[in-house]
Structure 1
């Protein structure tokens, strides 16, 4: 877990990335177990957010079915690679509040996640750039599509092989970029570039462990798709809470100032004090 914050250092003296710990290969199984504990400790908040994700999934699917095409529909699964970290930020906040023994509610957790909106926007721009390059690469792949009216499986083999390889490369990039960056942005007053470099460094230094973690995430996404997205009601909160514990076990961000949870009571008291002063 992260150590208490060290003595504050000027931003220009901070390293480019937070150090990471070496992880045992089976660590993701422990993250899932602790994520399940968090889900059981805050079931109403976690499942309510899971219901939000479920509703959004059906909305996107309906829009794709009505106005999209088969390629766009198949792209939904890969699209969750991009929006998953965003949807999980509130779940990270719930887990952190449980860890700090602070009051847990969706309102407070959403406010906690909103404190890092500036860094999250920069992170979104990075993902959008990757998405655009990915989309361009996907369009280029059609040069491998067999120019036949009714291509058979052998004719499609090259197309499917190249497409899968390109998709795997971009998915790996997105995974490395997003594995620990958003939890760090919410937990610490760090910039998005530092968080992204930290995430990539941690993934590269724990390849076997993170490969298992990526396989678990992909399996959960496929399970959600196989259940007509109903599985996301539980799977998304479980993965979100587990990711928070993955960040805490892996990243030592103690040199960066902590970002405290939102205290609505203190805010209200400050507003009332200002009114009295006026």
Structure 2
């Protein structure tokens, strides 16, 4: 499927002067399905490495839930989520390396993928911290909404509804912001060794210019995470690596490269 490059238009993102913005291509609405199928192919070709990373993705949320159930101490959730946000991008980098190795015609190895994790470590830590700050802010806003709920009111759906709607809307806004910031940031940082500003602005610009395909992609990721939770995190063992591999193909398809990519 041939894509043509979108001339990066002048907008607030490209004219910000904070960092340069790498051009992106114009995507088709069917592209997210193609990324999934290519991701699935990578998963089938590297089952051992897939399960290795997948177990981490399943264990971390399981451990968070276990801690909360054991202690009844919901404050555990915050530091645990913080850890997950910091570790997640590094785990993803290992998965991207597998797809990248296949693209180059190499046989991926666990050792090589673990080494890839520290390719652009400073900016990846920066990215993790940025996500963490957003997450903490989101949780603060959620607790303020919770505090607004009068304790004397009955817990009926009618009385809870305005707070549920407000909480959902705030959550949706934060989710969209995180998606814009992080859709392509991680693979850009890993492959190009650019600074965090360039990676983040490139990601925002690419999502903005491809709103419909990226909304579909975001919906697929959300559904995948939902299935993972509904299966008691067991689904994450295969689903998170699948999304990781597919994200690499999304990056290849979307962000302009100096050399034509040959992976189809």
Q: TM-score, normalised by structure 2?
A: 0.84
Paired residues, what number? 245
Change (3 A) 1:240 1:228: same
**Structure 2 residue aligned with 1:263:** none
Report the CA distance between 1:242 and its aligned residue.
0.2
Structure 2 gaps of 5+ residues are: 4-17, 260-264
**Structure 1 residue aligned with 2:197:** 193
4+ runs deviating over 4 angstroms: 68-84
Report the CA distance between 1:61 and its aligned residue.
1.8
Check the 8 A contact 1:184/1:253 in 2, yes or no: no
Q: Does 2:99 correspond to 1:95?
A: yes
Q: What SS does structure 2 have at the residue aligned with 1:254?
A: coil
Change (3 A) 1:178 1:86: farther
Q: TM-score, normalised by structure 1?
A: 0.80
Q: Does 2:140 correspond to 1:141?
A: no
Q: Which residues in structure 2 correspond to 1:80-229 (within 5 Å)?
A: 84-148=88-152, 150-229=154-233
Check the 8 A contact 2:89/2:124 in 1, yes or no: no
Greater RCO (CA < 8 Å, at least 6 residues apart): 1
Between the aligned partners of 1:196 and 1:67, the Cα distance in structure 2 is: 38
Q: Does 2:76 correspond to 1:66?
A: no
Between the aligned partners of 1:174 and 1:54, the Cα distance in structure 2 is: 21
Report the CA distance between 1:77 and its aligned residue.
9.3
Find 2:44's aligned residue among 40, 45, 52.
40
Structure 1 gaps of 5+ residues are: 3-13, 256-278
Check the 8 A contact 1:138/1:163 in 2, yes or no: yes
Report the CA distance between 1:121 and its aligned residue.
1.0
Check the 8 A contact 1:35/1:245 in 2, yes or no: yes
Report the CA distance between 1:241 and its aligned residue.
0.3
**Structure 2 residue aligned with 1:24:** 28
Check the 8 A contact 2:64/2:77 in 1, yes or no: no
Q: Which moved more, 1:154-163 or 1:70-79?
A: 70-79
Larger Rg: 1
Report the CA distance between 1:253 and its aligned residue.
4.1
Q: What SS does structure 2 have at the residue aligned with 1:114?
A: coil
Q: Which residues in structure 2 correspond to 1:4-23 (within 5 Å)?
A: 16-23=20-27
Change (3 A) 1:193 1:253: farther
Q: Does 2:247 correspond to 1:243?
A: yes
